[in-house]
Structure 1
Amino acid sequence: MAQPWEERLAHGLRTMGFAQTPASAHGLITGCLVADPEAGNDLLIKSLGEALPLTENPAEAFDRLVDELRRHLLAQLYDIELGFAPLVPEDAEIETRAQALSEWADGFISGLGQTPRLGGLKPSAESAEILRDLAEIARMDPEPEDSEASEKDFEELSEYVRVGVLLIADELAPENPTRIPMQ
């Protein structure tokens, strides 16, 4: 059985000496790919910041991990099944999941802004509103209350982020989606 993305990404980030959490890095890479589906591994890894590797030669394994994640995200973002979801821990307390969603939203906005392809593109009014909402989510301070109402609120917020990102990805999708390098 394959390791979950969260574990694999956490290990890769740690090994490379990146400061991001898996949620933040996943959001950042997703934002880069939404802005430019043709972004390669070099740009995606560079977007994570300066690496301070903790082992002798971790770059090759991390490059493979990022490439696999890139292909996985592109397949999810542009699939008719709409299978995309932000990376947040599934089996954690609501406060931990809410913090991860906040970090993911912050990473997404950063990744979207780091990609040169966006240049002069202006988001639609709907996408601009979603981006403002994501900025608010990035600044939210999770409540340490584990209740049924909190769980329901989190699920609704998570679904809003998921659908919002898919709408933005659809809006910014290249004219010829067959050029998106998913393989």
Structure 2
Amino acid sequence: MSDSSLNYERVERQMASADIESTGAEVHGILCGLICAGREDAQARWFAELFTEMQATDLLVRECANSLKVLHDETLAAVTGPGLGFTPFLPDEEVPIKQRAQAVADWCQGFLYGIGVAGLSADHDFSTETQDALSSLSEITRMDLDHLDGGEEDEESLTEIAEFIWVAAMLVHAEMVADETERS
């Protein structure tokens, strides 16, 4: 499901080695929340959430940070560049559906957290459409995974949800870019 040059499972192993307890999807969601909210210091803020200064000399942490920097650079280029934007960093389609669905929920949780870390409060003056999209992201974080059986209908639903989270993120980004343009 991801267009990144990075392998999802490898990044998760690196994160575990660096004592980051979040999933790759959640970590990417945080980054996307920061970028879409318009934080120019998104990478620095993201790294501050993930790493402590004491970890800076640890080889495994540096290896993880290097991979996450690649993820940041690819995501930033995709969000701010021409084209349709980024693809959420999620496990490959060979992974069981419950794990992929959990990753989608984790991504949404991370995105909402990233928006909060970026300094956008719950009472930010988003359009009704964007407020509804953010509310839907919140609902996705509570998705019931126990009833997924991996059938074609579940696969289609998960694909639609993954596409929706992209749309929701790009709505936030478009509004924040419009807000910045108006303030300039």
The alignment's TM-score, normalised by the length of structure 1, stands at 0.82
Q: C-alpha root-mean-square deviation of aligned residues, in Å?
A: 2.6
What 5-or-longer segments of structure 2 have no aligned partner?
A: none
**Contact 2:20–2:50 (CA under 8 A) maintained in structure 1:** yes
Q: SS where residue 100 of structure 1 aligns?
A: helix
Partner of 2:71: 69
- 1:28 correspondence with 2:34: no
Partner of 2:111: 108
The superposition leaves residues 24-48 of structure 1 with CA deviations (integer Å, 9 ceiling, x where unpaired) of: 1111111111113412433111223
Structure 1 pair 49/96, CA: closer, same or farther in 2 (3 Å)?
same
**Contact 2:34–2:42 (CA under 8 A) maintained in structure 1:** no
**Contact 1:32–1:112 (CA under 8 A) maintained in structure 2:** yes
Q: CA deviation at 1:99?
A: 0.8
Q: CA deviation at 1:169?
A: 1.0
Distance 2:69 2:30 in 1: 14
Q: CA deviation at 1:84?
A: 1.4
- 1:141 correspondence with 2:125: no
Partner of 1:154: 158
Distance 1:60 1:94 in 2: 32
Q: Which stretches of structure 1, 4 residues or longer, exceed 6 Å deviation after superposition?
A: none
Structure 1 pair 24/11, CA: closer, same or farther in 2 (3 Å)?
same
**Contact 1:20–1:48 (CA under 8 A) maintained in structure 2:** no
Aligned length: 173
Question: Which residue among 42, 45, 49 is the counterpart of 1:43?
Answer: 45
**Contact 1:47–1:111 (CA under 8 A) maintained in structure 2:** no
- Share of identical aligned residues, percent? 27
Q: CA deviation at 1:8?
A: 4.2
What 5-or-longer segments of structure 1 have no aligned partner?
A: 177-183
Q: CA deviation at 1:100?
A: 0.6
Q: CA deviation at 1:106?
A: 0.4
